[in-house]
Structure 1
Protein backbone atom coordinates (compact mmCIF):
# COMPACT_ATOMS: atom_id res chain seq x y z
CA UNK A 1 0.00 0.00 0.00
CA UNK A 2 2.98 2.30 0.67
CA UNK A 3 3.95 2.00 -3.02
CA UNK A 4 0.42 2.97 -4.09
CA UNK A 5 0.23 6.04 -1.87
CA UNK A 6 3.70 7.33 -2.70
CA UNK A 7 3.18 6.74 -6.44
CA UNK A 8 -0.17 8.54 -6.30
CA UNK A 9 1.25 11.56 -4.51
CA UNK A 10 4.35 11.89 -6.64
CA UNK A 11 2.52 11.63 -9.95
CA UNK A 12 -0.34 13.92 -8.86
CA UNK A 13 2.24 16.58 -7.99
CA UNK A 14 4.34 15.93 -11.12
CA UNK A 15 1.27 16.21 -13.33
CA UNK A 16 0.32 19.70 -12.12
CA UNK A 17 1.08 22.06 -14.99
CA UNK A 18 2.44 19.16 -17.06
CA UNK A 19 1.90 19.05 -20.83
CA UNK A 20 -0.61 16.20 -20.52
CA UNK A 21 -2.65 18.22 -18.03
CA UNK A 22 -2.57 21.13 -20.49
CA UNK A 23 -3.67 18.70 -23.21
CA UNK A 24 -6.58 17.59 -21.00
CA UNK A 25 -7.61 21.26 -20.74
CA UNK A 26 -7.46 21.65 -24.53
CA UNK A 27 -9.42 18.47 -25.17
CA UNK A 28 -12.10 19.51 -22.68
CA UNK A 29 -12.40 22.93 -24.32
CA UNK A 30 -12.55 21.39 -27.80
CA UNK A 31 -14.98 18.51 -27.22
CA UNK A 32 -16.92 19.62 -24.12
CA UNK A 33 -17.63 15.98 -23.21
CA UNK A 34 -15.87 15.31 -19.91
CA UNK A 35 -16.90 11.68 -19.32
CA UNK A 36 -15.53 10.19 -22.58
CA UNK A 37 -12.41 12.35 -22.18
CA UNK A 38 -11.81 11.07 -18.64
CA UNK A 39 -12.42 7.44 -19.65
CA UNK A 40 -9.96 7.83 -22.54
CA UNK A 41 -7.37 9.46 -20.26
CA UNK A 42 -7.80 6.58 -17.80
CA UNK A 43 -7.44 3.94 -20.54
CA UNK A 44 -4.40 5.63 -22.11
CA UNK A 45 -2.76 6.04 -18.71
CA UNK A 46 -3.39 2.43 -17.66
CA UNK A 47 -1.81 1.19 -20.89
CA UNK A 48 1.11 3.62 -20.82
CA UNK A 49 1.87 3.24 -17.12
CA UNK A 50 1.34 -0.53 -17.26
CA UNK A 51 4.04 -0.79 -19.92
CA UNK A 52 6.22 1.62 -17.93
CA UNK A 53 5.85 -0.32 -14.68
CA UNK A 54 6.66 -3.57 -16.49
CA UNK A 55 9.76 -1.88 -17.92
CA UNK A 56 10.71 -0.79 -14.40
CA UNK A 57 10.41 -4.38 -13.19
CA UNK A 58 12.43 -5.66 -16.15
CA UNK A 59 15.23 -3.21 -15.37
CA UNK A 60 15.59 -4.78 -11.92
CA UNK A 61 16.46 -8.09 -13.61
CA UNK A 62 18.99 -6.57 -16.00
CA UNK A 63 21.21 -4.57 -13.65
CA UNK A 64 22.96 -5.63 -10.49
CA UNK A 65 21.55 -4.16 -7.26
CA UNK A 66 24.54 -1.82 -6.86
CA UNK A 67 24.23 -0.39 -10.37
CA UNK A 68 20.44 -0.19 -10.06
CA UNK A 69 20.72 1.85 -6.86
CA UNK A 70 22.89 4.40 -8.64
CA UNK A 71 20.61 4.51 -11.69
CA UNK A 72 17.52 4.98 -9.53
CA UNK A 73 19.10 7.54 -7.23
CA UNK A 74 20.47 9.64 -10.08
CA UNK A 75 17.16 9.22 -11.92
CA UNK A 76 15.12 10.49 -8.96
CA UNK A 77 17.51 13.41 -8.44
CA UNK A 78 17.31 14.25 -12.17
CA UNK A 79 13.50 14.10 -11.93
CA UNK A 80 13.73 16.63 -9.08
CA UNK A 81 15.58 19.03 -11.37
CA UNK A 82 13.18 18.32 -14.26
CA UNK A 83 10.22 19.16 -12.02
CA UNK A 84 11.51 22.71 -11.77
CA UNK A 85 11.33 23.21 -15.56
CA UNK A 86 7.82 24.31 -16.56
CA UNK A 87 6.14 22.41 -19.39
CA UNK A 88 4.64 24.09 -22.40
CA UNK A 89 2.23 22.61 -24.88
CA UNK A 90 2.85 23.45 -28.49
CA UNK A 91 -0.18 24.33 -30.59
CA UNK A 92 -2.03 21.02 -30.44
CA UNK A 93 -5.14 22.19 -32.29
CA UNK A 94 -3.82 20.61 -35.50
CA UNK A 95 -3.22 17.29 -33.76
CA UNK A 96 -6.64 17.35 -32.15
CA UNK A 97 -8.26 18.10 -35.48
CA UNK A 98 -6.27 15.27 -37.15
CA UNK A 99 -7.49 12.70 -34.62
CA UNK A 100 -11.02 14.02 -34.05
CA UNK A 101 -12.34 11.78 -36.86
CA UNK A 102 -11.98 8.94 -34.31
CA UNK A 103 -14.39 10.65 -31.95
CA UNK A 104 -13.87 12.14 -28.52
CA UNK A 105 -12.65 8.88 -26.95
CA UNK A 106 -10.36 7.88 -29.84
CA UNK A 107 -8.76 11.30 -30.24
CA UNK A 108 -8.23 11.71 -26.50
CA UNK A 109 -6.84 8.19 -26.09
CA UNK A 110 -4.30 8.52 -28.92
CA UNK A 111 -3.22 12.07 -28.10
CA UNK A 112 -2.91 11.41 -24.38
CA UNK A 113 -1.01 8.14 -24.88
CA UNK A 114 1.43 9.80 -27.29
CA UNK A 115 1.88 12.89 -25.11
CA UNK A 116 2.71 10.69 -22.12
CA UNK A 117 5.60 8.94 -23.92
CA UNK A 118 8.85 10.22 -22.42
CA UNK A 119 6.93 12.47 -20.03
CA UNK A 120 7.95 13.03 -16.39
CA UNK A 121 5.14 10.86 -15.09
CA UNK A 122 6.01 7.97 -17.39
CA UNK A 123 9.66 8.06 -16.38
CA UNK A 124 8.62 8.35 -12.73
CA UNK A 125 6.48 5.23 -13.17
CA UNK A 126 9.46 3.26 -14.53
CA UNK A 127 11.66 4.42 -11.65
CA UNK A 128 9.03 3.79 -8.98
CA UNK A 129 8.32 0.27 -10.26
CA UNK A 130 12.04 -0.49 -10.22
CA UNK A 131 12.48 1.05 -6.77
CA UNK A 132 9.56 -0.72 -5.13
CA UNK A 133 9.61 -3.98 -7.08
CA UNK A 134 5.88 -3.65 -7.69
CA UNK A 135 4.10 -3.41 -11.03
CA UNK A 136 0.50 -3.34 -9.87
CA UNK A 137 0.67 -0.98 -6.88
CA UNK A 138 2.86 1.49 -8.75
CA UNK A 139 0.72 1.38 -11.89
CA UNK A 140 -2.46 1.81 -9.84
CA UNK A 141 -0.91 4.67 -7.86
CA UNK A 142 0.50 6.54 -10.83
CA UNK A 143 -2.74 6.12 -12.75
CA UNK A 144 -4.75 7.38 -9.77
CA UNK A 145 -2.35 10.33 -9.45
CA UNK A 146 -2.89 11.18 -13.12
CA UNK A 147 -6.64 11.09 -12.64
CA UNK A 148 -6.43 13.28 -9.51
CA UNK A 149 -4.57 15.91 -11.54
CA UNK A 150 -6.50 15.61 -14.81
CA UNK A 151 -10.12 15.19 -13.70
CA UNK A 152 -10.32 18.74 -12.32
CA UNK A 153 -8.61 20.00 -15.48
CA UNK A 154 -11.29 18.36 -17.60
CA UNK A 155 -14.23 19.48 -15.45
CA UNK A 156 -13.16 22.92 -14.34
CA UNK A 157 -10.68 23.93 -17.00
CA UNK A 158 -8.87 27.24 -16.93
CA UNK A 159 -10.81 28.60 -13.96
CA UNK A 160 -8.96 26.39 -11.48
CA UNK A 161 -5.61 26.11 -13.23
CA UNK A 162 -5.00 29.86 -13.02
CA UNK A 163 -5.50 29.79 -9.23
CA UNK A 164 -3.20 26.88 -8.36
CA UNK A 165 0.33 27.72 -7.18
CA UNK A 166 1.95 25.57 -9.91
CA UNK A 167 5.47 26.77 -9.07
CA UNK A 168 5.07 25.78 -5.42
CA UNK A 169 3.55 22.42 -6.40
CA UNK A 170 6.53 21.74 -8.69
CA UNK A 171 8.97 22.65 -5.90
CA UNK A 172 7.24 20.26 -3.50
CA UNK A 173 7.33 17.50 -6.14
CA UNK A 174 11.02 18.22 -6.81
CA UNK A 175 11.79 17.99 -3.09
CA UNK A 176 10.03 14.61 -2.87
CA UNK A 177 11.96 13.24 -5.87
CA UNK A 178 15.22 14.54 -4.40
CA UNK A 179 14.43 12.97 -1.03
CA UNK A 180 13.64 9.60 -2.61
CA UNK A 181 16.90 9.70 -4.57
CA UNK A 182 18.95 10.46 -1.46
CA UNK A 183 17.08 7.96 0.73
CA UNK A 184 17.60 5.25 -1.92
CA UNK A 185 21.37 5.80 -1.74
CA UNK A 186 21.49 6.04 2.04
CA UNK A 187 19.40 2.89 2.53
CA UNK A 188 21.59 0.91 0.18
CA UNK A 189 24.91 1.91 1.69
CA UNK A 190 24.05 2.27 5.36
CA UNK A 191 21.27 -0.23 6.07
Structure 2
Protein backbone atom coordinates (compact mmCIF):
# COMPACT_ATOMS: atom_id res chain seq x y z
CA UNK A 1 0.00 0.00 0.00
CA UNK A 2 2.92 2.32 0.74
CA UNK A 3 4.26 2.02 -2.81
CA UNK A 4 0.81 2.87 -4.22
CA UNK A 5 0.26 5.88 -1.96
CA UNK A 6 3.75 7.33 -2.41
CA UNK A 7 3.58 6.79 -6.18
CA UNK A 8 0.15 8.39 -6.41
CA UNK A 9 1.11 11.45 -4.38
CA UNK A 10 4.45 12.01 -6.09
CA UNK A 11 3.03 11.80 -9.61
CA UNK A 12 -0.16 13.77 -8.86
CA UNK A 13 1.89 16.66 -7.49
CA UNK A 14 4.61 16.28 -10.09
CA UNK A 15 2.08 16.40 -12.91
CA UNK A 16 0.57 19.73 -11.83
CA UNK A 17 1.57 22.30 -14.43
CA UNK A 18 3.53 19.65 -16.37
CA UNK A 19 3.54 19.62 -20.16
CA UNK A 20 1.22 16.61 -20.26
CA UNK A 21 -1.29 18.47 -18.09
CA UNK A 22 -1.02 21.39 -20.49
CA UNK A 23 -1.56 18.89 -23.30
CA UNK A 24 -4.73 17.67 -21.53
CA UNK A 25 -5.98 21.26 -21.42
CA UNK A 26 -5.16 21.73 -25.09
CA UNK A 27 -6.91 18.51 -26.14
CA UNK A 28 -9.98 19.36 -24.04
CA UNK A 29 -10.22 22.84 -25.55
CA UNK A 30 -9.64 21.57 -29.07
CA UNK A 31 -11.88 18.50 -29.19
CA UNK A 32 -14.43 19.13 -26.41
CA UNK A 33 -14.92 15.36 -25.97
CA UNK A 34 -13.77 14.51 -22.44
CA UNK A 35 -14.43 10.75 -22.36
CA UNK A 36 -12.15 9.70 -25.25
CA UNK A 37 -9.49 12.13 -24.01
CA UNK A 38 -9.60 10.69 -20.48
CA UNK A 39 -9.51 7.11 -21.79
CA UNK A 40 -6.61 8.02 -24.08
CA UNK A 41 -4.68 9.49 -21.16
CA UNK A 42 -5.35 6.32 -19.14
CA UNK A 43 -4.15 3.95 -21.87
CA UNK A 44 -1.05 6.01 -22.71
CA UNK A 45 -0.12 6.35 -19.05
CA UNK A 46 -0.58 2.65 -18.27
CA UNK A 47 1.63 1.60 -21.18
CA UNK A 48 4.25 4.28 -20.57
CA UNK A 49 4.48 3.77 -16.82
CA UNK A 50 4.46 -0.03 -17.11
CA UNK A 51 7.48 0.24 -19.43
CA UNK A 52 9.13 2.73 -17.05
CA UNK A 53 8.50 0.44 -14.07
CA UNK A 54 10.02 -2.49 -15.96
CA UNK A 55 13.15 -0.39 -16.56
CA UNK A 56 13.22 0.57 -12.87
CA UNK A 57 12.88 -3.07 -11.84
CA UNK A 58 15.70 -4.07 -14.22
CA UNK A 59 17.93 -1.33 -12.80
CA UNK A 60 17.19 -2.53 -9.27
CA UNK A 61 18.18 -6.10 -10.19
CA UNK A 62 21.27 -5.09 -12.21
CA UNK A 63 22.84 -2.84 -9.58
CA UNK A 64 23.95 -3.76 -6.10
CA UNK A 65 22.01 -2.30 -3.17
CA UNK A 66 24.61 0.37 -2.38
CA UNK A 67 24.88 1.63 -5.97
CA UNK A 68 21.11 1.41 -6.35
CA UNK A 69 20.59 3.55 -3.24
CA UNK A 70 22.80 6.31 -4.71
CA UNK A 71 21.17 6.11 -8.14
CA UNK A 72 17.65 6.29 -6.71
CA UNK A 73 18.52 9.01 -4.21
CA UNK A 74 20.27 11.03 -6.90
CA UNK A 75 17.33 10.53 -9.26
CA UNK A 76 14.86 11.83 -6.68
CA UNK A 77 17.06 14.87 -6.02
CA UNK A 78 17.42 15.53 -9.76
CA UNK A 79 13.64 15.35 -10.24
CA UNK A 80 13.24 17.71 -7.25
CA UNK A 81 15.44 20.27 -9.00
CA UNK A 82 13.64 19.63 -12.31
CA UNK A 83 10.29 20.31 -10.62
CA UNK A 84 11.38 23.90 -10.07
CA UNK A 85 11.71 24.46 -13.84
CA UNK A 86 8.28 25.34 -15.27
CA UNK A 87 7.06 23.30 -18.22
CA UNK A 88 5.54 24.59 -21.39
CA UNK A 89 3.84 22.64 -24.11
CA UNK A 90 6.33 21.81 -26.84
CA UNK A 91 5.28 22.90 -30.32
CA UNK A 92 5.60 19.38 -31.73
CA UNK A 93 3.24 18.01 -29.06
CA UNK A 94 0.43 20.20 -30.33
CA UNK A 95 0.03 18.15 -33.48
CA UNK A 96 -0.38 19.04 -37.10
CA UNK A 97 -3.94 20.29 -36.88
CA UNK A 98 -5.35 17.31 -38.83
CA UNK A 99 -7.18 14.60 -36.93
CA UNK A 100 -6.28 11.22 -38.45
CA UNK A 101 -6.47 8.94 -35.43
CA UNK A 102 -9.63 10.28 -33.83
CA UNK A 103 -9.76 11.94 -30.43
CA UNK A 104 -8.84 8.76 -28.51
CA UNK A 105 -5.97 7.77 -30.82
CA UNK A 106 -4.60 11.30 -30.97
CA UNK A 107 -4.66 11.49 -27.18
CA UNK A 108 -2.93 8.11 -26.75
CA UNK A 109 -0.13 8.95 -29.19
CA UNK A 110 0.33 12.54 -27.97
CA UNK A 111 0.37 11.55 -24.28
CA UNK A 112 2.65 8.57 -24.77
CA UNK A 113 5.18 10.69 -26.68
CA UNK A 114 4.89 13.65 -24.30
CA UNK A 115 5.60 11.36 -21.31
CA UNK A 116 8.83 10.01 -22.83
CA UNK A 117 11.66 11.29 -20.65
CA UNK A 118 9.25 13.44 -18.63
CA UNK A 119 9.54 14.01 -14.87
CA UNK A 120 6.76 11.60 -14.04
CA UNK A 121 8.25 8.86 -16.23
CA UNK A 122 11.66 9.29 -14.57
CA UNK A 123 9.92 9.28 -11.18
CA UNK A 124 8.17 6.03 -12.13
CA UNK A 125 11.52 4.44 -13.00
CA UNK A 126 12.94 5.55 -9.64
CA UNK A 127 9.86 4.43 -7.70
CA UNK A 128 9.91 1.01 -9.37
CA UNK A 129 13.59 0.66 -8.49
CA UNK A 130 12.81 1.70 -4.90
CA UNK A 131 9.75 -0.49 -4.31
CA UNK A 132 9.48 -4.17 -5.21
CA UNK A 133 5.73 -4.07 -5.86
CA UNK A 134 5.63 -2.98 -9.51
CA UNK A 135 1.85 -3.33 -9.72
CA UNK A 136 1.45 -0.84 -6.85
CA UNK A 137 3.90 1.58 -8.47
CA UNK A 138 2.27 1.45 -11.92
CA UNK A 139 -1.28 1.73 -10.54
CA UNK A 140 -0.18 4.49 -8.16
CA UNK A 141 1.63 6.55 -10.80
CA UNK A 142 -1.25 6.04 -13.24
CA UNK A 143 -3.79 7.04 -10.59
CA UNK A 144 -1.69 10.11 -9.77
CA UNK A 145 -1.58 11.04 -13.45
CA UNK A 146 -5.34 10.67 -13.70
CA UNK A 147 -5.89 12.74 -10.51
CA UNK A 148 -3.97 15.60 -12.09
CA UNK A 149 -5.25 15.33 -15.66
CA UNK A 150 -8.93 14.40 -15.41
CA UNK A 151 -9.83 17.72 -13.71
CA UNK A 152 -7.77 19.50 -16.38
CA UNK A 153 -9.86 17.81 -19.06
CA UNK A 154 -13.20 18.32 -17.28
CA UNK A 155 -12.74 21.78 -15.84
CA UNK A 156 -10.20 23.13 -18.26
CA UNK A 157 -8.48 26.43 -18.06
CA UNK A 158 -10.44 27.79 -15.08
CA UNK A 159 -8.71 25.48 -12.59
CA UNK A 160 -5.25 26.14 -13.99
CA UNK A 161 -5.74 29.89 -13.50
CA UNK A 162 -6.80 29.50 -9.84
CA UNK A 163 -4.07 27.15 -8.60
CA UNK A 164 -0.57 28.46 -7.95
CA UNK A 165 1.61 26.17 -10.03
CA UNK A 166 4.70 27.64 -8.42
CA UNK A 167 3.48 26.52 -4.98
CA UNK A 168 2.47 23.06 -6.24
CA UNK A 169 5.87 22.64 -7.95
CA UNK A 170 7.61 23.76 -4.77
CA UNK A 171 5.74 21.20 -2.67
CA UNK A 172 6.45 18.45 -5.20
CA UNK A 173 10.14 19.42 -5.33
CA UNK A 174 10.30 19.29 -1.52
CA UNK A 175 8.73 15.81 -1.50
CA UNK A 176 11.15 14.53 -4.13
CA UNK A 177 14.07 16.06 -2.21
CA UNK A 178 12.94 14.43 1.06
CA UNK A 179 12.61 11.06 -0.69
CA UNK A 180 16.07 11.53 -2.20
CA UNK A 181 17.72 12.37 1.11
CA UNK A 182 15.94 9.56 2.95
CA UNK A 183 17.03 7.13 0.25
CA UNK A 184 20.63 8.35 0.31
CA UNK A 185 20.77 7.93 4.07
CA UNK A 186 19.08 4.53 3.77
CA UNK A 187 16.09 5.46 5.88
CA UNK A 188 13.65 3.15 4.08
CA UNK A 189 11.54 2.40 7.12
CA UNK A 190 10.30 6.04 7.16
CA UNK A 191 8.97 5.89 3.61
Normalising by structure 2, report the TM-score. Answer: 0.95
Partner of 1:123: 122
CA contact (8 A) 1:42 1:143 kept: yes
Counterparts of 2:11 and 2:93, CA distance in 1: 26
Matched, 1:163 2:182: no
Q: Which residue of 2 aligns with 1:64?
A: 64
Contact 2:23 2:93 in 1 (8 A): no
Change (3 A) 1:66 1:94: closer
CA deviation map 1:72-119 (0-9, x unaligned): 111111111000000011335851524x21100010000010000000
Q: Which residue number corresponds to residue 6 of structure 2?
A: 6
Cα distance between partner residues in 2 of 1:25 and 1:185: 37
Where in structure 1 are there 5+ consecutive unaligned residues? none
If the length of structure 1 is used for normalisation, what is the TM-score?
Answer: 0.95
Q: How many residues align?
A: 189
Q: Which residue of 1 aligns with 2:80?
A: 80
Structure 2 distance, partners of 1:45, 1:88, is: 19
Q: Structure 2 CA distance, aligned partners of 1:15 and 1:186?
A: 27
Q: Do residues 150 (structure 1) and 149 (structure 2) align?
A: yes
Structure 2 unaligned residues grouped into runs of 5+: none
* Pairing of 1:1-191 with structure 2 (within 5 A): 1-91=1-91, 95=95, 97-98=97-98, 100-187=99-186
Distance 1:145 1:111 in 2: 18
Runs of 4+ off more than 2 Å: 90-94
C-alpha displacement at 1:187, in angstroms? 1.9
RMSD: 1.6
Q: 2:162 aligns to what SS in structure 1?
A: coil
